[in-house]
Amino acid sequence: MVLDTIITLVAEHFQMDEEELSEDTLFAEIGADDMDIADLVMAVEDEFDMDITIDEANALRTIGDLTDLAERAVHTEE
């Protein structure tokens, strides 16, 4: 569920088909620069009511990395 939501957010941001994206997709492969990643981080923070630190954001390389952060926040709230 979290992965699906992240993929939807990424697809919308980059105007891509969700089928083109996976957990292993590198942000660099889809042309994401630092500003794009910052926008995605803010969207994920809003979507999952969470905070992502600057260090965590700087370490993001794949959709899976972003998904892992969101999943930890979701599981922490349970």
User: Residues with catalytic annotation?
Assistant: 33
**Mapping DSSP to helix (H, G, I), strand (E, B) and coil, where does residue 15 land?**
coil
Question: How far is the C-alpha of 69 from the C-alpha of 16, rounded, in Å?
Answer: 22
Q: How many C-beta atoms surround the C-beta of residue 46 within 10 A?
A: 10
**Residue 64 and residue 2: Cα distance in Å, rounded?**
10
